[in-house]
């Protein structure tokens, strides 16, 4: 039960790991992605991506600006122009 | 024949030049490693974006496609975005890029198109001005930035997209050096705007849901794609500059070494000649007694 999550910016690959769930601030509302999510693509608004490493655990927030998220067979990929911290 | 002192000074000056070129070579080697790492790190983003662009562009076509993909419908006014370095001491890199740009310009002008240059970096300005002084549209200065980053690419891309939307040009080409190795940097030309439809290699059969719809995502992605391309070009430029600089400085150091050897031999010969002459004078003097 793991979702492959990648966070990529133009200057580097910030994250590439197996996580439980990721909540992405989509431009039309937040959405959570678990393993086995249907193929999906959305632009995202500036905000925090919340990464849940384990079920019920404390989320880790990563501030992103400008980008979009793609869910495919390989998991979730967030392409962001800027990542804070 | 130069005097002994002159030779000695000459050797000294060549030696200090050699020290400078050697230092520059080592600096370039260190920076090259960094620039290459940066270029490598930027690849995943560019690849992903190109993939997504490809699958989206094949879905959105016709009149509903955004301006950046569709183009203005004409191809009369061409813009050549030429990416040069800001600093010299990098061998033939800049002249090669300028040569490529001039070749493209000559070709387009021969076809009866209007050509305007958009220069990035300092070193392309003078040689292009020599031939096409009245065609230089804009110059984007990157010389004040120490570490070229995404912000600069963003600045250039925003400017270009705004000009494109204002109808200042119909087609934009990007001319920049591609870093192959420290010995080879190939200047290349790619079409920047309108964004050429990427060939879709993989046919995605899965029904992908889009939020908002395809057109809106595409409209947001296109400027981002242009930025990424420019960012890639800037990174290639950095790596090429350091690579070319390293090679050029290596050659310069070697040439200086050769020159020093030659001058040293000449110096020793003159010194020996002077000693021999002195000896002969003394012996001749002694024999005369």
The set of residues, in sequence order, having a beta carbon less than 8 Å from that of B150 and lying 6+ positions away, is A9, A10, A11, A81, A82, B227, B231
A59 inside 8 A of chain B by CB: no
pLDDT exceeds cutoff 70 at A85: no
Whether A70 and B48 lie within 8 Å, measured CB to CB: yes
Given a contact cutoff of 8 angstroms between Cβ atoms, the answer to whether A59 and A25 are in contact is no
Residues in A closer than 8 angstroms to B224, CB to CB, are: 66, 81
At which residue do the structure tokens 């920076």 appear?
B31
- Which member of A6, A13, A28 has the closest CB to residue B211? A28
- Which member of B45, B204, B210 has the closest CB to residue A79? B45
Kindly report which listed range (A4-8, A25-29, B129-133, B136-140) carries the lowest average pLDDT score.
B136-140
* Confidence grade of residue B106 (pLDDT, cut at 50, 70, 90): very high
Alpha-carbon distance of B9 to B250, in angstroms, equals 23
Q: Give the residue on B whose Cα is nearest the Cα of A41.
A: B210
Q: Does the active-site annotation cover B90? A: yes
* Confidence grade of residue B109 (pLDDT, cut at 50, 70, 90): very high
pLDDT at B208: 76
Q: Which of A29-33, B155-159, B260-264 has the highest mean pLDDT?
A: B260-264
Strand B114-120 and strand B136-140: the pairing is parallel
Given a contact cutoff of 8 angstroms between Cβ atoms, the answer to whether B71 and B83 are in contact is no
Burial of B190 per CB tally in 10 Å (0-12, 13-18, 19+)? middle
Mean pLDDT value of segment B251-271: 95
* Residue B194: cis peptide before it, omega within 30 degrees of 0: yes
**SS3 at position B186:** strand
Q: What is the pLDDT of residues B263-272, one digit of tens each?
A: 999 999 999 9
pLDDT exceeds cutoff 80 at A44: yes
* Confidence grade of residue B200 (pLDDT, cut at 50, 70, 90): low
A34 inside 8 A of chain B by CB: no
pLDDT exceeds cutoff 70 at B198: no
Alpha-carbon distance of B147 to B140, in angstroms, equals 16
- CA torsion angle A26 A30 A36 A39 (round to 10): -30
Given a contact cutoff of 8 angstroms between Cβ atoms, the answer to whether B171 and B75 are in contact is yes
Q: What is the pLDDT of residues B206-220, one digit of tens each?
A: 577 887 787 788 888
Q: What would the two tokens of residue A54 be?
A: 């384990």
B267 inside 8 A of chain A by CB: no
A13 inside 8 A of chain B by CB: yes
Q: Give the pTM.
A: 0.84
Q: How far is B208 from chain A (nearest CA, A)?
A: 5
Given a contact cutoff of 8 angstroms between Cβ atoms, the answer to whether B121 and B91 are in contact is no
Q: Give the residue on A whose Cα is nearest the Cα of B46.
A: A10
pLDDT at B26: 94
């Amino acid at each position: 039960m793991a979702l492959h999550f990648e966070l990529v910016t133009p200057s580097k690959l910030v994250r590439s790991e197996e996580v439980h769930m990721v909540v992405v601030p989509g431009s039309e509302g937040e959405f959570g992605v678990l393993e086995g999510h249907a193929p999906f693509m959305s632009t995202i608004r500036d905000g925090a991506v919340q990464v849940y490493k384990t079920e019920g655990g404390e989320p880790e927030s990563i501030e992103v600006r400008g980008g979009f998220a793609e869910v495919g067979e390989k998991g979730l990929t967030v392409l962001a122009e800027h990542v804070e911290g | 024949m130069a005097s002994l002192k002159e030779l000695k000074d000459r050797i000294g000056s060549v030696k200090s030049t050699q020290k400078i070129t050697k230092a520059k070579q080592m600096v370039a080697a260190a920076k090259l490693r960094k620039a290459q790492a940066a270029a490598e790190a930027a690849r995943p983003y560019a690849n992903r974006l190109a993939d997504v662009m490809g699958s989206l562009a094949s879905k959105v076509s016709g009149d509903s496609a955004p301006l950046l993909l569709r183009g203005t419908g004409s191809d009369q006014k061409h813009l050549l975005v030429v990416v040069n370095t800001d600093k010299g001491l990098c061998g033939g890199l800049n002249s090669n890029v300028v040569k490529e740009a001039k070749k493209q310009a000559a070709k387009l002008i021969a076809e009866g198109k209007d050509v305007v240059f958009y220069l990035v970096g300092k070193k392309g300005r003078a040689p292009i001005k020599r031939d096409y002084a009245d065609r230089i549209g804009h110059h984007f200065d990157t010389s004040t930035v120490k570490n070229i980053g995404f912000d600069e690419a963003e600045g250039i891309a925003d400017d270009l997209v705004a000009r494109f939307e204002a109808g200042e040009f119909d087609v934009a080409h990007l001319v920049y050096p591609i870093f192959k190795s420290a010995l080879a940097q190939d200047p290349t030309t790619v079409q920047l705007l309108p964004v050429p439809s990427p060939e879709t290699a993989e046919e995605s059969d899965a029904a992908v849901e889009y939020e908002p719809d395809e057109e809106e995502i595409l409209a947001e992605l296109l400027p981002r794609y242009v930025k990424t391309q420019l960012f890639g070009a800037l990174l290639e430029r950095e790596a090429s500059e350091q690579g070319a600089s390293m090679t050029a400085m290596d050659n310069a150091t070697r040439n200086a070494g050769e020159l020093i050897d030659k001058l040293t031999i000449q110096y020793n010969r003159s010194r020996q000649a002077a000693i021999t002459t002195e000896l002969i004078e003394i012996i001749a003097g002694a024999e005369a007694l």
